[in-house]
Amino acid sequence: MPVLLLIRHATNDFVKTGRLPGRTPNIHLNEEGRRQAEALARLLHEHPLDAIYSSPLERAIETAWRIAADRNLPVAICRDLADTDNGDYTGMEIKRLSEDEATRDFWRVVIETPSQARFPNGEGLLEMQQRVVQALEALIAAHPDREVQASGDPAGGGAEDKPKRRPQVLAIVAHADVIKAALAHYLGMPFDHFQRLSIAPASLTAVTIGHDDKTGRRYILVNYVNRVPPA
C-alpha cells in the first residue's frame, strides 16, 4: 500500500482576510506562498514520487506545479480533493458567522459537532470526509506496490535475483479541512474531533498505510512536518 504525502497548499492573500475560502475561484499563491511551495519542492527533491495529485482549485494546483517542476510527472487533478463546498457562506467572514445571531448557532455546530453541520446550499462536513476518503481509497487501490529487482549475493554461489516490492509514494495537494478529515478517518478519531487537528500552509503529513500479513489488518503511521524550510 502506498505512502500518502498529504500536502496543504501554500499560503495566499485570501487566508489573511478571515473569510471562508471554500471553492472560491482565482485564489492564487502570493509571493510568500510561492516561496513556501518552492521550499517544499526542494524538501522532496531527493525523495521518490510516483504520482502527484491535486485538488482542482488554483491554490492547490499552483503548489503541485512547483513540486512537479523538476520531475517527469504530470499533475493529475482529482475533483474529490476540493475544499468543502460552503454554499451560501462561501467568502463570508468567520468572525461574522460566529457572532451574528442568524449564524452563530450554526457555526457552533461546525466547531463542536461537525458531523451534524451542513452548509446551506453546500455540503455537510461528514459528506466532505466521505468523498475525500473515497477518493484516497481509489488512489490507494490504483497504486499497488511496485516490484523492484534486488541483486543476489555474488558470494552466495550465483543466487538468482529475487524480486522485492516497494510502496509507491503519492504527493496529494489539497486543503486543511480535507487533510484533517482524512487523518481523522485513518487514525480512527471520531469525526467530531477533527477540528482539534491543525494543518499549516505548505505542511506535509506523511501517512503510511501498511498491511499485516498475519492478521490481515491495516496499520497507519503518521509523520507531520509543520513547516517547510525557509527559502
Task: Give 98-150 pLDDT, tens digit per residue.
Answer: 999 999 999 999 999 999 999 999 999 999 999 999 999 999 999 998 887 66
pLDDT at residue 151 above 90? no
Residue with more model confidence, 161 or 80: 80
Q: In angstroms, rounded to a whole number, what is the distance separating the alpha carbons of residues 2 and 146? A: 10
Q: What is the pLDDT of residue 148?
A: 79
Q: Note the pTM of the prediction, 2 decimals.
A: 0.88
Q: In angstroms, rounded to a whole number, what is the distance separating the alpha carbons of residues 81 and 138? A: 12
Burial of residue 190, with CB atoms counted within 10 A of its CB: 0-12 exposed, 13-18 middle, 19 or more buried: exposed
Q: What is the pLDDT of residue 91?
A: 96
Q: What is the pLDDT of residue 83?
A: 98
Give the count of beta carbons closer than 10 Å to the beta carbon of residue 162. 9
Q: What is the pLDDT of residue 154?
A: 47
| Of the candidate ranges 14-23, 88-97, 158-167, the one whose mean pLDDT is the lowest | 158-167
User: Which residues are CB-contacts of 38 (< 8 A; sequence separation ≥ 6)?
Assistant: 66, 231
| Residue entry with cell 495529485 | 53
Q: In angstroms, rounded to a whole number, what is the distance separating the alpha carbons of residues 173 and 204? A: 9
pLDDT at residue 157 above 60? no
Residue 125, all three cell numbers = 462536513
Q: Average the pLDDT over 221-230 and give the result.
A: 62
Q: How far is CA 57 from CA 17, 94, 123, 148, in A?
A: 18, 21, 17, 35
| Of the candidate ranges 53-62, 84-93, 142-151, 153-162, the one whose mean pLDDT is the lowest | 153-162
Which region, left, alpha or beta, applies to residue 188 given φ > 0 means left and ψ of -120 to 50 means alpha? left
Q: Are 60 and 174 in contact (CB under 8 A)?
A: yes
pLDDT at residue 68 above 50? yes
Residue with more model confidence, 61 or 224: 61
Average pLDDT, the chain: 89
Q: Could you say which DSSP state residue 28 is in?
A: -
- Considering only the C-alpha atoms of the chain, give the largest distance between any 2 of them, rounded to a whole number of Å: 80
